[in-house]
Amino acid sequence: MNNKELFEKSLKFVPGGVHSPVRSFKGLHTTPRFINRGHGAKIWDEEGTEFIDFCMSFGPLIHGHQDPEIKEAIIKALENGWTFGACEKYSLELAEYIVNKICFIEQIRFMNSGTEAVMTAVRLARGITGRPKIIKFNGCYHGHLDAMLIKAGSGLAGEAEASSKGVTEKQAGDTLICELGDIDEVKKCFDDHRDQIAAIFIEPLPANNGLLVQQRKFLEDLRALCHKHSALLVFDEVISGFRIGFCGMAGETGVHPDLVTYGKIIGGGMPVGAVAGPRKFMEYLAPLGPVYQAGTLSGNPVAMAAGLVNLKKLTPAAYARLELNSQKIVAIFSDWMQKNGFADYQTLRYGSLFWPISTHDKLSNITQLPTNMNARFYQLFETLLNKGIYLAPNAYEVGFVSLSHGDAIQAELKERLWK
């Protein structure tokens, strides 16, 4: 069956034909590609069409598809069983490796997704502080839990409303929304809701509504405000963790959160999430503390084995190669776009994340995004897709460079672009 036939069949059995909305190619004038396999920096769909992949499963494949050492670890773990629902050494080995290398955490709890990690962090922050409200920022995505499917309201600072049906007004009322970079708005939220705010949640490198790089000073000011008001600072590093250096943005900026959520890379491409922090906070979790969290498949041995090998391969030399790959890839795209009908575009980059966007303005929050970005992106995406280059199929999603996007792939990218 071809892609069109597969999608038509999928629409009969799956809502919208997909298991995650961004895969639907909504708004694009083409059919979702059903991927059959991947290897290195490439994927192939069910029709046998080959693409250079810059989605990379939205981030976890930092070594590329089917890295042989990670694959060997997965196979070896499978030979012993793929789930136990009991204590095992695989999660212990990964926990020890992460905690020993990151100075601001002392314990870590694994689960199965970034959403689950943030859900646990919200509950944990409320349990530690005894306070109901949290602050999040317009444009930061923290998974599809009710407390985070909230957008800015049209009234006072911090006012919020649900961005999804099914989220109650009461749930929305406990999440306060501020604009990225506006420290005065955050201060006003603390003044207006004195002794009610449990935590500030932020992607220290916002990368789910475009790549909206924040000033270090803003993160430092958030840290100071949390200290002043006895609230927790929570970094969502599901995307940036272990990709922007081993210690993520917390290591890059020197701003250390009270709690941090991880995902993606720590599972080597297998389903995973985690919450980490100092012992004094983490031991609020059951069975020691009063904050409940559980999961039958948490600490899945296959994901833990894959994640450990994935992280051990992230040496300083690997990060240096990744940075070089990223610089060259972005330079290639930028040169081609300027000369082939997309001169209104710039390609923003931070480490191995990049984002083509149809403006040359400086961007730090979603109020600055161009109004025509969807229409322009559709043209760019389909042009590149027809050249065998696969971006994430949404104008707001970033691209990912991996260690497999080396010299040979860079040369092939140039050839495909200019053909």
Tell me what the mean pLDDT of segment 151-172 comes to: 72
* DSSP-derived 3-state class of residue 105: coil
Mention every residue, 6+ apart, whose C-beta is less than 8 A from residue 339: none
What are the chain's domains? 3-67+315-418 (3.90.1150.10), 68-312 (3.40.640.10)
pLDDT tens figures, 259-314: 999 999 999 999 999 999 999 999 999 999 999 999 999 999 999 999 999 999 99
Asked if the model's pLDDT at residue 327 lies above 60, the reply is: yes
* DSSP-derived 3-state class of residue 61: coil
Q: Does the predicted TM-score (pTM) go above 0.75?
A: yes
- Spatial distance between the Cα atoms of 398 and 284, rounded to a whole number of angstroms: 35
* Exposure letters 391-415 (e unless 16+ CB within 10 A, then b): bbbbbbbbbbbbbbbbeebbebbee
Which pLDDT band holds residue 155 (cuts at 50, 70, 90)? very low
- Spatial distance between the Cα atoms of 166 and 218, rounded to a whole number of angstroms: 33
* DSSP-derived 3-state class of residue 48: coil
Contact 109/120 with Cβ under 8 angstroms? yes
Catalytic residue among 42, 264, 345, 350: 264
Please report, as a single letter, which amino acid is at residue 400. Answer: F
- Spatial distance between the Cα atoms of 94 and 346, rounded to a whole number of angstroms: 39
- Spatial distance between the Cα atoms of 213 and 358, rounded to a whole number of angstroms: 17
Active site annotation includes 264? yes
Which has the minimum average pLDDT: 60-69, 113-122, 165-174? 165-174
Active site annotation includes 141? yes
Q: What does the mean pLDDT of the chain come to?
A: 95
Contact 91/301 with Cβ under 8 angstroms? yes
Contact 31/366 with Cβ under 8 angstroms? no
> pLDDT at position 344, please?
94
> pLDDT at position 168, please?
87
CB burial of residue 100 (10 Å; 0-12, 13-18, 19+): exposed
Catalytic residue among 141, 262, 345, 396: 141
C-alpha 355 chain-centroid distance: 14
- Spatial distance between the Cα atoms of 153 and 160, rounded to a whole number of angstroms: 4
Handedness of CA 158, 197, 236, 101 (dihedral sign): positive
Catalytic residue among 45, 53, 67, 236: 236
> pLDDT at position 160, please?
66
pLDDT tens figures, 214-267: 999 999 999 999 999 999 999 999 999 999 999 999 999 999 999 999 999 999
pLDDT tens figures, 86-117: 999 999 999 999 999 999 999 999 999 999 99
Active site annotation includes 292? no
- Spatial distance between the Cα atoms of 241 and 251, rounded to a whole number of angstroms: 9
DSSP letter assigned to residue 291: B
